[in-house]
Amino acid sequence: MPKNTIMVFCAHPDDEIIGMGGSIARYADEGKDIITVIFSYGEKSHLWLKEHHTVRMRTKECRKAAGIVGIRETIFLGFRDTRLSKEVKTREAFEKVENIIRKYRPAKIFTHSIDDIIYPDHKAVHNLVVKVTEEVGYKGELYSFSIWNPILVRKRNRPKLVVDISGTFDRKKKALGCFKSQKLALAQLLPGIYSKAVIHGQKAGVKYAEVFYKIR
């Protein structure tokens, strides 16, 4: 299993940056290949626009942000935004994820937290990634990141990975600024993003940190 490949599975463009943008940049600086797999284009985020306009806009934002933090490749699976709870249960979805994992054989996989319950799409992606990794006998490390839920109180006793992002937090903020179409949602999230980075950093003895809980 290649030690230099890290894969991130998420529901929408921008989830990867919100959840672990600082860590992605840190890993990229260390020479690791970062592959992001995004299940939908987030096409339902602008209902007043035709979907193909939203898809083009959000794809462009995502790729620009990827360049800032050092993501090598972004794969869009093309499933339907807001309908992932149903669509990930198909054989097609299982096989797409299975084939990607078998192709890249990542040393670490990151995906949404099961506690991120505000968006059912996030939970759906978590469930599928866990199911596929179990059934294919994935031997690497599997971690979760949170977006909408606060610092996970009930998981504090679980194994976790702490990444010092003191040197890359500014790049995470710059990458978040690429998602201009999501500025209202990000305005709600930014206070939590800052506070979690500071709190996790203080506990780790650094300026800023991101924390991930081990699934398996």
What does the pLDDT look like over 19-35, one tens digit per residue?
999 999 999 999 999 99
Tokens of 24: 């992605």
What does the pLDDT look like over 155-199, one tens digit per residue?
556 789 999 999 999 999 999 999 998 888 888 889 989 999 999
Global model pTM greater than 0.85: yes
169 contacts 59 by C-beta, under 8 angstroms: no
Average pLDDT over residues 189-210: 95
Amino acid at 82: T
Res 87 pLDDT > 70: yes
pLDDT score, position 216: 85
Q: Which CATH class is domain 5-214?
A: alpha beta
